[in-house]
Chains A and B, each alone.
Chain A
């Protein structure tokens, strides 16, 4: 069930009304049933796979608690991780691995050993709930979380519908205790939940889904378009993916908030970042911190030699790329970010020296502007690989995206959006960046305006009517559902 549908609106209205009408000790039954229905609505049969993950990891937690020795606990941990990874691999990477194997066999002249690729339908949200469930088992092993004895409460934690299919990837120590705490209806929480959901909905249906038309038109046939069109489609994709995914996260956070739960912040105005390291502290924070805690730190983190550290960083970014999808485009995207990150760190001193040498700080705001510009250029370059259908397409786009020779400006109206919608798209991008700037910097005048009730109501109405007038209601799926 998509957040951006009337079906979800009705579903949630019923859930939230019943939730507060029920006594606290019965609420989890409602949440579990609602969450299972919510997930089943995508494709009922996938619920079997979800159950498999739930049962394996719940059992692993209990076995670990019962185990007396470290080797026994380790055996349970690795068995659980192996099953989770195997399930994820089978559904997400098996086909990709087989195709890759065939390429290698061709290269070695062993085409006669080709395997027939098996492509299984990817269950929605599998990467998200598998990672969430795995983190519980690892935390239980590390004794960072109390093992949950009640299986149904554990199931409720993993399947909690606001965050089930596209995160934020919640940790057990943060979310699980919230199911034991009684939540009282609170005006402030409810209002905040509605506000953030409205903003998320606006980003999804007004901005992301409008821009997707241009992005799909161009990226599905990049060779048919000139540099200017490729540039606009790439810029639009950068905004689309941000609005799509952060929009989902905002709605998830808002919906959970209305039910009395706090989910972690997943985005913090990433397009205001001034370095790649900064970008990754603002983009998909729940995944970044997951990789930090369960991959990077166990590998030694930064308390190792520079070479080993660089290897650790590269491993994390490559895994992050692979996590997003079974395609070499994602591997390259991960590798690019690893390279950005490492080069950024290794050139910190020379860059600072250069800035001093050129006296760039004499012009107020120039250094931050350059840093921001370079960061955005690198991030947007990375998005080309993220969105392109094939590596060949990606390299074609990279080679032509800044080639504006003979560009036909009127051709931008042939990218799938008529003139009015195209003009509105640019307007919304400026609007979005303005709001993000205000949210991040919180200027005094904005705070003052926001404290006025009439201004807040005006903002709510603007968002509501923007959704009503400009929203796309053709059930465009969230991009991250495919991961």
Chain B
């Protein structure tokens, strides 16, 4: 074996230099991390409106006070889903229709299709829901991985780097958020006024027990889509079917949570524009078949209701009258669950 030129310094000394250099670099990184984290925490309302709403609701949920004001004999309804729930389910209206037999909370989180973890956090924080309404299917079980599958697919220690980087640097969208905030604030009366506006929107959402009208995406007069408005991706002759698989880790987790915290799940219809798809059957038989023998899961109504464009503020979300329409339909569908 040959040796490289004369060894300049002992390996231990070199190692000490390297460790010191990396240590200094990491210290700088940590110091800056705290500065960025502080800025991010100190000015929460520069984040996009959607994120402000999500953060406010998650924070409220973490306090364990979603049903703090509810009476013991009231059913506690938590409604999970994405932005369609956020803008479609008016908790106060639902409770009014129930004549006080329910205390409901809208836990629709915009941009979030994953709710199993949110239900777990809600229950763990002491929010004692009795009825969980769902509009989205839970993730289907991953395919069985045979030896051949393993030999012909990438070896991955985990699914994706994206959530990891977001958890290490929760403030990583800050430059973007700030730029967008500054750009938008010009049309909203300036930086301070826009900041206050965002804060008030979050406070209003909490006051309305999670309901929020997505004003930012409404571009038509009176917040109503024109009646002839359609999208090229609409397929009014096709029926969309929600696909449920009653197995897999997520399903098992949901079932375990229901047993542990004593609540039940109700798959309820979502809502769509009339032009979007054809009318679904009154109930999805395949879903009913899947959930047969699963007493903690119930299917109520069709996969979706179709509403006229006047009930929509944009192509996906209801306006305020649309939300009342949906909430009323939901009450009529579920009222047998609650005693007056």
Residues in chain A within 8 A of chain B (CB atoms):
1, 4-7, 10, 20, 24-25, 40-45, 180-187, 190-191, 194, 260, 419-421, 423, 457, 460-461, 464-465, 468-471, 473-475
Contacts of A43 in B (CB 8 A): 151-154
Contacts of A464 in B (CB 8 A): 29
A402 to B130, CA, bound (A): 63
Q: In whole Å, how far is B257's beta carbon from the nearest beta carbon of chain A?
A: 29
- In the complex, B11 has a CB within 8 A of chain A: yes
Contacts of A181 in B (CB 8 A): 1-4
Q: A184-B14, A461-B29 are in contact. Are A44 and B1 (CB under 8 A)?
A: no
Q: Which of A45, A182, A457, A465 is B3 in contact with, Cβ under 8 Å?
A: A182
Q: A45-B151, A180-B1, A185-B11 are in contact. Are A6 and B179 (CB under 8 A)?
A: no
Q: Are A460 and B25 in contact (CB under 8 A)?
A: yes
Contacts of B3 in A (CB 8 A): 181-182
**Can you name 14 extra interface pairs (CB under 8 A) apart from A20-B15, A187-B21, A469-B175?**
A6-B164, A42-B154, A43-B153, A43-B154, A44-B150, A45-B152, A181-B2, A181-B3, A182-B4, A184-B11, A191-B18, A420-B176, A468-B168, A468-B169
**In this complex, what residue of A is CB-closest to B2?**
A181
Contacts of B164 in A (CB 8 A): 6, 473
Q: Are A41 and B155 in contact (CB under 8 A)?
A: yes
Ordered by A's residue number, 24 sampled pairs between the chains whose C-beta atoms are within 8 Å are A1-B155, A7-B156, A7-B157, A7-B158, A20-B15, A44-B151, A45-B152, A180-B2, A181-B3, A181-B4, A182-B1, A183-B4, A185-B14, A187-B17, A190-B14, A190-B18, A191-B21, A420-B179, A457-B28, A468-B165, A469-B169, A469-B174, A471-B165, A475-B160
A460 to B168, CA, bound (A): 19
Interface centre among A6, A20, A40 (most CB of B within 10 A): A6
Contacts of B162 in A (CB 8 A): 473-474
Contacts of B140 in A (CB 8 A): none
Q: Is the interface of B mostly helix, strand, loop or mixed?
A: helix
**In this complex, what residue of A is CB-closest to B16?**
A187
Q: Which of B4, B15, B25, B172 is A457 in contact with, Cβ under 8 Å?
A: B25
| Contact pattern, B 1-28, Cβ under 8 Å of A = 1, otherwise 0 | 1111001110100110110011011001
Q: Are B15 and A185 in contact (CB under 8 A)?
A: yes
Q: Which of A44, A260, A468 is B155 in contact with, Cβ under 8 Å?
A: A44
| Contact pattern, B 21-52, Cβ under 8 Å of A = 1, otherwise 0 | 11011001100100000000000000000000
Q: Are A184 and B7 in contact (CB under 8 A)?
A: yes
Interface centre among B22, B32, B176 (most CB of A within 10 A): B176
- In the complex, B180 has a CB within 8 A of chain A: yes
Q: A182-B3, A465-B32, A471-B165 are in contact. Are A187 and B14 (CB under 8 A)?
A: yes
Q: In whole Å, how far is A463's beta carbon from the nearest beta carbon of chain B?
A: 11
Contacts of A186 in B (CB 8 A): 8, 14
3 closest Cβ contacts across the A-B interface? A187-B17, A473-B161, A41-B155
Contacts of B24 in A (CB 8 A): 457
Q: In whole Å, how far is B186's beta carbon from the nearest beta carbon of chain A?
A: 13
A5 to B164, CA, bound (A): 10
Contacts of B14 in A (CB 8 A): 184-187, 190
Q: Are B2 and A182 in contact (CB under 8 A)?
A: yes
Q: Are A474 and B172 in contact (CB under 8 A)?
A: no
Q: Are B29 and A24 in contact (CB under 8 A)?
A: no
Contacts of A10 in B (CB 8 A): 157
Q: In whole Å, how far is A439's beta carbon from the nearest beta carbon of chain B?
A: 21
Q: In whole Å, how far is B77's beta carbon from the nearest beta carbon of chain A?
A: 36
**In this complex, what residue of A is CB-closest to B179?**
A420
A180 to B1, CA, bound (A): 6
A44 to B148, CA, bound (A): 10
A30 to B267, CA, bound (A): 54
Contacts of B155 in A (CB 8 A): 1, 40-41, 44
